[in-house]
Structure formats: structure tokens, C-alpha cells
Amino acid sequence: MGDTAFYDRLAPDYHLLFADWEGSIGRQGAALGDLLRSQGLQPGDAVLDAACGIGTQTLGLISQGFALAASDPSPGAVARLQNELRTRGLQAQVRVDDLRTLAGTATGSQAAVLACDNSIPHLLSDEEIGQAFRSAWRCLQPGGLLLISVRDYAALPRVSPDVRPYGARRDAQGRRFLAVQVWEWDGDCYDLRLYRTVEHPDGRCDTDVLCSRYHAVTLERLAQLMAKAGFEAVTRRDDVLYQPVLLARKPALSGPTA
């Protein structure tokens, strides 16, 4: 995945993209915990957050009683999550790993694998997405659950440039933080530029630009790729998170995927 530099640079301030990051941790943890329990998971079950970032879902699901492992290709994001865990007195197995391979996760070890916050569209082709789904399938126990959340790209107008501002935030050090996303479309992909301005209490002002790229893959296509990777019972839910959720089940009795 080619966006590690983007998230490495953003990791120290990523929480400021949220109006209330602590509130988001609690709400998403509760929503995902309810969904996992409705799918038969129990507190103590092994859950891999395979695109953990700085830990929004990981931290929330630990509070719901699940046994979390967390991985992300960004060393900066992983380091930030490790620091959050230490600060909060929480435990999780955290590592740098590629969503396409999940090489650090043992075969058949997880009751659920998650990849939330539109992480899958960082994979820029059906082939890479299929590889990630096959890796999740390998890591899951028989009957295990794959859960992703993604933007509904089929419902979004393709305006270029598409300017998407965040609100102004202020951190504990008194810095004022402003960020604006700008999308520029290129076929079924788009380049995202995050313009970030930090105003310091002494009057200094820093501005930089972080660049990333996304594949605007539709939910329908993602469901097809899940099925091709060997998953069954693919279901869309629009009542869990702020983005649509796709759920899929590894068959209870499974042979290897193609």
C-alpha cells in the first residue's frame, strides 16, 4: 500500500479530524460490539483490526471486552496506537503489517477481521482487494466474520475538484488546527490532497499538504470480490457506522480459496 507516508505524517494529529475523537471511539466501539455480538461473537473472542490507524475501532472494541490484535501498514499510526494503549492501560497485540497479506496473523486464529474507515479503497485494483480478502479468509476461524466499512461511491457525484472542509479544532496545547480535503478524479480513482494548517499559540503558522489516492470501488463490486474469495452471506448494513458496512462469513467447513 502506497499511503504509509500520508498516515505517518498525519498520525500525531489524526484525532483532530474528529469533532470528538473520544466520543467517536465510544460510539463506534458500542456499535461494532453490538453488531459482532449479534453475529455470535462473545467477549474474549479474537478480533483483528486489520487497518487500525491510530486505534478508533481497536480502542472501542477493547472496551467491549474483545481480545484485539491490530495492524496497519503505517509505522507512525501503529506507534500512535501503542502510545494510546499505554496511556490508557489497555492491552492489544499491535504490529506493522500489510492489509493485502496480513503476514503477522496466524492462519485460522481470528473470530473476526475488520477493516473500517474506508481503508479498502486504498487498494487500487480488484486484484489487490481480492488479495486482501483472501488473506482475511486465511486468518479467520471456520465460520469467522469479515467486516469492512467503506464510502458508497455509487451514490457520490464525481465533482473535480471536490472540496471537503473539516471544522476548526483546538488541541490540548492550544494549537488551532484546520484541514481541508480536495479530491481530483482520474477515471475510477481520485487523488486526495489534505491541506493542513496548524496555528500555534505564539502566532506561528504551519501549512503542509498530504497526498493519497483512492480506488472508488462500489459496494456491489466489493460484495462480488468477497464472494470470489470464498465468503458467503455477504450483507450490507447502513445502520451501524457513518459509512455503509459489509459483512461476510467464512463457511464453517471451508476448503482453500482459488
What whole-number percentage of the chain has pLDDT above 90? 95
The beta strand positions in 66-204, using DSSP E, are 67-72, 93-96, 110-115, 140-149, 162-165, 169-170, 176-186, 189-199
Does pLDDT of 106 surpass 80? yes
The span from the CA of 223 to the CA of 217, in Å, is 10
> pLDDT digits over 150-197, tens only?
999 999 999 999 999 998 999 989 999 999 999 999 999 999 999 999
The span from the CA of 194 to the CA of 254, in Å, is 43
Residue with cell 477493547: 62
Residue spans per domain, the chain? 4-153+217-249, 157-215
Of how many residues is the chain composed? 258
Cα separations in angstroms, 121 against 51, 70, 158, 213, 231: 12, 19, 16, 9, 19
pTM comes to 0.94
Confidence band for 3, pLDDT divided at 50, 70 and 90: confident
Does pLDDT of 254 surpass 80? no
Class of the 4-153+217-249 domain? alpha beta
3-state secondary structure of 84: helix
Instruction: Report the chain's mean pLDDT, rounded to a whole number.
Output: 95
pLDDT at residue 111, rounded to an integer: 98
Q: What is the DSSP string of 10-74?
A: HGGGGGGGSS-HHHHHHHHHHHHHHHHHHTT--TT-EEEETT-TTSHHHHHHHTTT-EEEEEES-
pLDDT at residue 141, rounded to an integer: 97
- The answer to whether residues 101 and 135 touch, using CB atoms and an 8 Å cutoff, is yes
pLDDT at residue 253, rounded to an integer: 77
Equal CATH topology for 4-153+217-249 and 157-215: no
Q: Is the peptide bond before 161 cis (omega within 30 degrees of 0)?
A: yes
Residue type, 122: H
Does pLDDT of 19 surpass 70? yes
pLDDT at residue 2, rounded to an integer: 53
> pLDDT digits over 200-235, tens only?
999 999 999 999 999 999 999 999 999 999 999 999
Count how many Cα atoms sit within 13 Å of the Cα of residue 34 in the half-sphere of its side chain. 9
- Which fold would CATH assign to domain 157-215? S-adenosyl-L-methionine-dependent methyltransferases (2.20.130)
